[in-house]
Structure 1
């Protein structure tokens, strides 16, 4: 009896899953993205539209079981080798054993942990990441303990504060039972542990697939600057600048941030990098640099604040100086890869919930420069190969101001 299309498809998929799926070329990369795009489409095709809607309505359950793993530090209590009974794990984490078993068995349906013998839990390759990679653990903690809380109240926030641009008028402030009086950053800064975890989570995000700093290094013509000067505005500990420095050691780089600690100065120390305390809403103090770089800065702010940031740079700009923004850029709906659009829109909604901020389309970036000062010439936005971030560039065509 000849195989039906479904039987043949299932056999092909099983064969593919049993083979190494290695990305070795640009064609492989495109094929991989095509397959990722097809997976949810296939799921909708097989389960039907009504079941898809039902499944969407309880996606929060996946987050709940992951939140439980993070909240009770379960991954660190399960031995990396061997197994542990639910009873013993319950004693260690403080969660009643029946609830613990139910939550972890739900997590297993998402590929997290496994039961080698009944009522005993052990790590698998996925769950080990929560122990062996502190950045991943910090990311899960931030999303499930803080951002999720804000998301629960985001509709209420939009009803309560329509058109607000305040970082305090968000779902996060309602979630922390202090509506309109606190922000994500204010909550994060309350304890050294929260500050550390937030930093680790942001490092993970910045180094994730498509967000690696390598695309910034390789995607812009830094060589044309020769021995020129770059100002990395809001550059934190200088991890992006250090990568540029390693590839172009003749450049002079100033890393600016509102808080500069001794640890920040040493973590990515390079002979051609110096650190400087600076608030990017105030007039720029490093004059006549060739490039003023803003990486992952503007998406934290609403348009009015972004315009203030651009105007603050003007007193330092010489004719021909470049503003280079390395940030996200929303595609028009239905263009490009669906999975990449989904990732970009996830960030957009996350920024709404967390900070009343947003991601932007390319036309929005051009408009920001026009509103900041018509003497900015907008050169456009380009996406380096393999990157999910854009390089958005404008040139100062005015005379020297400062």
Structure 2
């Protein structure tokens, strides 16, 4: 594989479009060589890998091998008091799937995948998938059959069936701190590209932003959790004039670490926006959690607060109307099984905003394949 990729340079030097195009091309080429039996084996193994990764986490395999130093089966087994024979079989599976490296008989070391798997953010994302997403997907076929294959879920999703609960995910997760921590780790994994690259916060042609009155609110981070994006904004524009306000529910605001230059405010986005006349009202990965009716309500609650030059910035996927990438379709189905919601196409965004009394000014895409975008909206 190294010889195959050498002429192309390191993958870290490729931009998203070229890197994903190369990955997809290699996958398609491999699939073109498959017999029906090969295809069956690929799907069978896909259903097993996450469970084996979970076992790798339980046995501290990835964190132990992440330093790159080879370690014997006996060393790895002793760390958790595991049976060396069983440990060798687990390690053999992980190595055969290129998640660790086998250096000699009964000796293993880390590789690039091992280092990634040892990242707490990646670990949180995969453990969230193991405990939450996979059981919900297992429940999905029966759930769809029971509900006669309808898109509108009526508030009950495949996840509710798999978890045997009537609670929505976030209230449920607050009662399950470990799962909530996995979700927060997942949400901290950086996306491809940066929304800050497409919003002109420092621009002489926009004096309300570049030379803002110190008393005016420049940025309202609605449902901003503990402030990752507000902190990124300040890191890029430390001398930004005006106020930055982060809003979320009381329990989130109470546990959020303080950020110099950011004001925290308790607010439920299903109620009218209390900050009047801000330049930007920002919603990151909020509306994809809600069906159109609820999403429109969230947007309508902002409109009365807007000044003449205010804009709503919706940081979400804006999928092409055709030819959606396979990973974006995975995220779309994740929204369905968890929330009865969806990732929206460009046409669907126009429709939603029209329903809310808004119009799309433009869509600024900052990751060309996955279509992470900022939809800029103003009242009609």
- Identify the TM-score tier after normalising by the shorter chain: 0.7 to 0.9
Query: Of residues 346, 350, 372 in structure 2, which corresponds to 1:362?
Result: 346
CA deviation string 1:247-283 (max 9, x = no partner)? 44114211111134455242xx233x21101100011
CA deviation string 1:110-151 (max 9, x = no partner)? 2112333323433333213333x2112111211122211211
Aligned to 2:33: 46
Separation in 2, partners of 1:100, 1:356: 40
The residue correspondences of 1:50-129 to structure 2 (distance < 5 A) are: 51-52=38-39, 54-76=41-63, 80=67, 82-86=69-73, 89-90=76-77, 92-93=79-80, 96-129=83-116
Q: 1:94 to 1:159 in 2, by over 3 A?
A: farther
Aligned to 1:377: 359
| Contact map agreement 1:325 1:392 (CA 8 A) in 2 | yes
2:245 equivalent to 1:254: yes
Residue 76 of structure 1: how far off its partner (Å): 3.9
Aligned to 1:293: 282
Separation in 2, partners of 1:347, 1:58: 21
Residue 31 of structure 1: how far off its partner (Å): 3.6
Separation in 1, partners of 2:55, 2:96: 14
Residue 299 of structure 1: how far off its partner (Å): 0.8
| Contact map agreement 2:225 2:253 (CA 8 A) in 1 | no
Separation in 1, partners of 2:282, 2:322: 28
Structure 1 unpaired stretches of 5+: 1-9, 336-340, 398-402
3-state DSSP of counterpart to 2:256: helix
Separation in 2, partners of 1:101, 1:183: 41
3-state DSSP of counterpart to 1:47: coil
The residue correspondences of 1:198-209 to structure 2 (distance < 5 A) are: 198-204=183-189, 207-208=190-191
3-state DSSP of counterpart to 2:319: coil
Q: What TM-score does the superposition give when structure 1 sets the normalisation length?
A: 0.80
State which drifts further: 138-147 or 43-52: 43-52
Q: 1:200 to 1:385 in 2, by over 3 A?
A: closer
Separation in 2, partners of 1:311, 1:111: 49
Aligned to 1:393: 376
Q: What TM-score does the superposition give when structure 2 sets the normalisation length?
A: 0.84
| Contact map agreement 1:318 1:396 (CA 8 A) in 2 | no
Separation in 2, partners of 1:377, 1:290: 17
Separation in 2, partners of 1:235, 1:49: 47
3-state DSSP of counterpart to 2:272: coil
3-state DSSP of counterpart to 1:329: strand
Query: Of residues 146, 153, 156 in structure 2, which corresponds to 1:165?
Result: 153
State which drifts further: 229-238 or 97-106: 97-106
The alignment's C-alpha RMSD in Å is 2.9
2:208 equivalent to 1:218: no
3-state DSSP of counterpart to 2:307: coil
Separation in 1, partners of 2:96, 2:7: 20
CA deviation string 1:216-269 (max 9, x = no partner)? 111122232321522111111222122223444114211111134455242xx2
| Contact map agreement 1:70 1:140 (CA 8 A) in 2 | no
Query: Of residues 166, 175, 179 in structure 2, which corresponds to 1:194?
Result: 179
State which drifts further: 99-108 or 388-397: 99-108
3-state DSSP of counterpart to 1:280: coil
